[in-house]
Amino acid sequence: MSLSSHVIELKKKHQHLSTEVEEAQRAPGVDGLHLAELKKQKLKLKEEIERLSS
């Protein structure tokens, strides 16, 4: 897998997590730990994308 295709896949995963976070925030009675874990995963992906893109 080339670097650019890897970055593209990471961006897709990041977007998917963004959608999950938004949906979880709108859902009543959402588990705060689950939401925090989603946000942590999203941040790790963002950092990885930035690291590979620079």
The Cα–Cα gap between 35 and 50 comes to: 23
Residues belonging to the chain: 54
Residue 1, pLDDT score? 73
Taking the chain (54 residues) in runs of 10, the rounded mean pLDDT of each run is 92 97 90 94 97 92
Query: What are the φ/ψ torsions at residue 28 (nearest 5 degrees)?
Result: -70, 140
Tokens read off for 13: 């995963």
The single-letter code of the amino acid at 1 is M
The single-letter code of the amino acid at 11 is K
In this prediction the pTM is: 0.86
Residue 30, pLDDT score? 85
